[in-house]
Amino acid sequence: MIFDLHSHTTLSDGSLEPHELISRAVEKGVDTLAITDHDTLDAYGEIPPLNGAINLIAGVELSTQWQTTGIHVLGLNVDLDSAAIQTAAQTQSGARLERARRIGERLEKKGIEGAFEGARELSPGSYIGRPHFAQHLINIGRVNSMNAAFKKYMGDGKAGDVKQQWADLPQIISWIRDAKGIAVLAHPLKYKLTRVKLKKLLDDFIQAGGQGMEVVSGQQQTYLTRDMAQLCEQKGLLASCGSDFHGPGKPWSELGVFPSMPGNVTPVWDRF
């Protein structure tokens, strides 16, 4: 059985529409899929009849801050009709919209008028992120590639690098748990924390009500998987896995293609 519990569609920063993502997951042999778009549930309004082709778990990836580090928390197996998760999506989407407006204002000071409107037109849902601004810069001829857009305008320390005012970690976890979901720390290795700081993050996460961590995130070396599993076991957390798929052409994050979950941990799906 292949569980891929971390994936994205065009309703956040992925390149496939929800039905395309599901079709690709089926092709890749995924048995259980979670769509976890950033701070939005919009994709779930566009899911076609599945007819038993795949088991779909309702999910979302919520953004927050820990100390000075931006982190992401997956809400898995949430009740999409719950007031808590609806409030979470509305609050987080509102924060993203405000950030997008500020990015537009900063780019306007750089002589790029209408950047916010251009980015908004490229988004099919409520999510407006830096990739949308980058694509707009390409479309108007300011740059010729995504890499160039981030290097000149959208990357860290540039005009498009506007810090976000997210809900805090306890609130994020509370929303997920109130929606009968499981709060999972996404891709812990991606934050590039020291071992001491990663353990402190996990301790704070657990104290706030967090229940699991991603042991496997896309293609990763065996020793990293073993290390994350050991840490997961030590902290008494549930273990999750996923590709963090955003689109085709990225073999390191292809749907269903990642190391197997080690046997010394308790899989998060045991609680679904």
pLDDT exceeds 90 at position 212 = yes
Give the C-alpha distances (Å, rounded to integers) separating 244 from 36, 96, 97, 149, 229: 9, 20, 23, 23, 18
Question: What pLDDT score was predicted for residue 245?
Answer: 98
Which of 128, 154, 180 is at the close of a domain?
154
Query: Quick one: 73 and 106 in the same domain?
Result: no
Distance CA 100, CA 112 (A): 14
User: How many other CB atoms are found less than 10 A from the CB of residue 18?
Assistant: 21
Tens digits of residue pLDDT in 48-86: 889 899 999 999 999 999 999 999 999 999 999 999 999
pLDDT exceeds 90 at position 101 = yes
Query: Quick one: 230 and 97 in the same domain?
Result: no
Query: Quick one: 253 and 139 in the same domain?
Result: no
Tens digits of residue pLDDT in 110-160: 999 999 999 999 988 888 989 999 999 999 999 999 999 999 999 989 999
pLDDT exceeds 90 at position 10 = yes
pTM, full prediction: 0.93
pLDDT exceeds 90 at position 38 = yes
Q: Which of 82, 81, 42, 83 is nearest to 60 (CA)?
A: 42
Strands (E), the chain: 3-4, 32-35, 55-66, 69-76, 182-185, 212-217, 238-242
The CATH number of whichever domain residue 116 belongs to comes to 1.10.150.650
Q: Which of 12, 249, 253, 7 is nearest to 130 (CA)?
A: 12
Query: Quick one: 134 and 79 in the same domain?
Result: no
Question: What pLDDT score was predicted for residue 126?
Answer: 83
Total structural domains within the chain: 2
Question: What pLDDT score was predicted for residue 139?
Answer: 96
Query: Quick one: 111 and 240 in the same domain?
Result: no
**What 3-state class would DSSP assign to 55?**
strand
Query: Quick one: 113 and 209 in the same domain?
Result: no
Full residue range of the structural domain in which residue 105 is found: 90-154
Which of 119, 154, 189 is at the close of a domain?
154
Sequential DSSP letters for 102-116: HHHHHHHTTT-TTHH
Query: Quick one: 173 and 253 in the same domain?
Result: yes
Tens digits of residue pLDDT in 230-269: 999 999 999 999 999 999 999 999 999 999 999 999 999 9
Distance CA 15, CA 185 (A): 24
Which of 102, 123, 154 is at the close of a domain?
154
The mean pLDDT value of the chain amounts to 95
